[in-house]
Amino acid sequence: MCGRFTLTADWGLVREWFFIEMAEQMERIAPRYNVGPGQDVLAVIAHEGKRRAGWLRWGLKPSWTGADGKAPAPLMNARAESLASRPTFKTLLARRRCLVPADGFYEWKKAADGKKQPMRVVLTDRPLFSFAALYDTYVAEDGTRHHSCVIVTTEPNRTMSAIHDRMPAILRREDETLWLDRSVSAPDRLLPLLRPYDDAAMRAYPVSAAVGNVRWDAPACIEEVAPPEPPPTLGTLL
């Protein structure tokens, strides 16, 4: 799954890296070291042939939400294997795809002592990458528009399988244009883009357990810490 991520890069680099041509009120974006569900996240969509950046709430609130505003709990992740079959995602896959820029993400690995150790995962072949995501807009009775998104997950590669049984669908740089192309809607062209990322280009390292508190958003979040000591074996006790 994907429950937390980081985007610490300078806005100028983000804009250049993702070829963003349209962006409003984006000049003072602060580095984010612990982005969590329920927060607004930077997203990139295709708009009239250009790439446009804006904010989406992480946690999908579908357009078919009832008039009373009630719907199932917001969805933070969607399985790639079911995008073309689940009614909630089928139309979005065809029409409403976006990129969610990041430079790392967190996942919790079960340690030998039974505790969970947060790990930050980064790519070694590029400074920025994007999660494949879907978005939708719910319009309330008063006309207020609620824009939200869900991040797609896929099967883990070898690096991630030692940590979790799912991983975010990270798009290869050469696949981002196709994912955003609004003229493409066929699942057989889109779903192959959601394969596990090359594990040889990924690195996972332990970070502070304080990352578990989503209110903690500071540079120390991404600092590597010493891995926990394994519990003593019978032989070391004798």
Q: Which of the residues 98, 107, 149, 176 is marked catalytic?
A: 107
Q: Is 221 a catalytic residue?
A: no
Query: Which residue, 89, 116, 119, is CA-closest to 104?
Result: 119
Rounded CA separation 61/147 (Å) = 8
Q: Is 2 a catalytic residue?
A: yes
Query: Which residue, 8, 226, 220, is CA-closest to 105?
Result: 8
Residue 82 near residue 89 (C-beta atoms within 8 A): yes
Residue 133 near residue 143 (C-beta atoms within 8 A): no
Q: Do the strands 116-123 and 104-110 form a parallel or antiparallel pair, or are they unpaired?
A: antiparallel
Q: Which residues contact 127 (CB under 8 A, 6 or more apart)?
A: 9, 13, 17, 103
Angle (CA) 198 218 119, round 5°: 35
Residue 160 near residue 202 (C-beta atoms within 8 A): yes
User: Which residues form the catalytic set?
Assistant: 2, 107
